[in-house]
Amino acid sequence: MVMTEGTRFILDGKEPVPCENIADWQAFMDDIAGRTVARDVVGKFHISTTFEGTNLDTSTKRRFFLTVVAEREDSSYLSETWEQAESKHRAVMRCADGLSNLTPEKIANGHRFVGYGVQSDKLWFVMESEETAIAALPQPVTNWHREGRTLVFTPPVTEQ
């Protein structure tokens, strides 16, 4: 079968397989529990990974699973297989756990900051000045870099 953008899929166990019957596909999609890989709350982050029933990627890659992280803004990650989706979900949970335990005071490390923001995929601190940012982070380190007077932490999300 040639895969097209409109091709519908269901799961055979944990494997996506094409489904040409729209009634069968709709019945499968209505069973949210049956297509949910995982759903967790880590700190203030709500993480959900589901099979979406269609290829979500516009390139030649197959991406059937969607991991969504909800906090202030939504972030999402695509996966091809159930196993990759489980792995991505666990990686996002680890990142959310780490971000949930961080406080602005812990990160600023005694340096004065004037603002900060948290998203599921990054954390940033706006320092008083670029000089303060340089004093707080003279050189980039693992997962940290400087953007002018802003310090940015991006947790690793591994793909398998």
Structure confidence at residue 52 as a pLDDT band (50, 70, 90)? very high
The residue with tokens 């990142």 is 95
CA angle 142, 49, 56 (to 5 degrees): 95
pTM of the model: 0.56
Determine contact, residues 125/107, Cβ cutoff 8 Å.
yes
Which carries the bigger pLDDT value, residue 32 or residue 112? 32
In the chain, the percentage of residues whose pLDDT exceeds 90 is 28
Q: Report residue 133 CA to chain centroid gap.
A: 27
DSSP 131: H
Q: How far apart are CA 123 and CA 118, in angstroms?
A: 5
Question: Is the pLDDT confidence value at 144 over 80?
Answer: yes
Q: Is 96 helix (H, G, I), strand (E, B) or coil?
A: helix
Strand runs labelled E in 13-119: 15-18, 36-42, 45-51, 65-70, 74-79, 113-119
Is the pLDDT reported for residue 16 higher than 80? yes
Higher pLDDT, 10 or 47: 10
Residue 65's pLDDT is what? 92
Would the pLDDT of 1 be above 50? no
Residue with tokens 């196993």: 83
Whole-number pLDDT of residue 22: 94
Which residue, 130, 124, 120, is CA-closest to 104? 124
**What tokens does 48 get?**
């959900």
